Chain A
């Protein structure tokens, strides 16, 4: 099982760097993952997206459509891509501690 060390903390991750134990996720983990993958300091808008994705996953066991992310955060599509340059999956979902979604992402 690959591990990722960020600021002295060790996380079990999959090969793509997605958290293996999503239940250990919290705000601190999000901050560390965002710092490590180049997203940088998390703004209020980042948090709106992360919290919505997390909540959606906890309730539905899947990442939300980007349309829903826009709808619930009030952000425009292009803003989402600017906030998370790696995109909603490899960017936002990873920081929100979700497992990697299937498909071409």
Chain B
């Protein structure tokens, strides 16, 4: 057997030994798949030098349910309940995106009242989703109480959804051709009532959570994502707008009646820290809720009596061969559905562009250099729903 070559001179050998003695190693920790701060079964493999993170790698797929493949095996209308289950916090918007894509294939336009109802529900759903986002963000950084106040307002919204469609989480309400059924009597007045209540309660979250000094310290300058990074990684929604990019599909590629509504696109200002930090993302979410209320009020003023669904769209849909993509502004970003039809009643190709998935991909890039506690803050500010990232 050949002896290994002696590369280290004897006098340096001693030095090397000392070096070996104090050689340190990065800690590798699994954050998840069962971890309170990963909002589901996300697994992030963190490498840390003490409290400072030096690397992160996210592992997805624990909640993969073949949603897109199912879409290629069931009827167009039968796929609709599956869209509820991507991002279960904003089912209305998921339904809407899918319905708009199928309607584009069919080439039909929903009656005016249907469009207004869809807009109202999409915006109310946005508020419900942002309430959970901001509330759970509080939990991520240690403030448990605001979550319960947020859930109280969400409860009012869920009651509204229950009244109109019968479900509290997976609505299946907006469907190709229109909506499931017209709003019950007095429902629109209830919505107006909610708008007034919400306006009163909003300052509470603002004062209790977002304006708190510790909250500001924990979020400002944490997970900073410059505008160019956000664009490069394809981020959308509050993640993108938090970085100061003025891009909102509701204004820039209007669908439904958004072109007739007067609203402001909220963009992060970085007034508590750097532009594009976790504070800005929450800031965008907080103010978007107020904008949504404004939009709902305008819709309530403009809505008229009439049909809610297109009469020609039945339960069996056979679009002409072709393809369609519609992206809408989900609470988490651009949710797009790409549907290819071959003329049968089952889609040939179904594809979903999930905002959570794209937004999550940038986290690996943002985490290194932060502290361990910031991992929870940054993942929380991304506001991912694992049902959507894994589909």
A and B physically associate: no
Residues of A at the B interface (CB closer than 8 Å) are none
Instruction: Mark B residues whose CB is within 8 Å of A.
Output: none
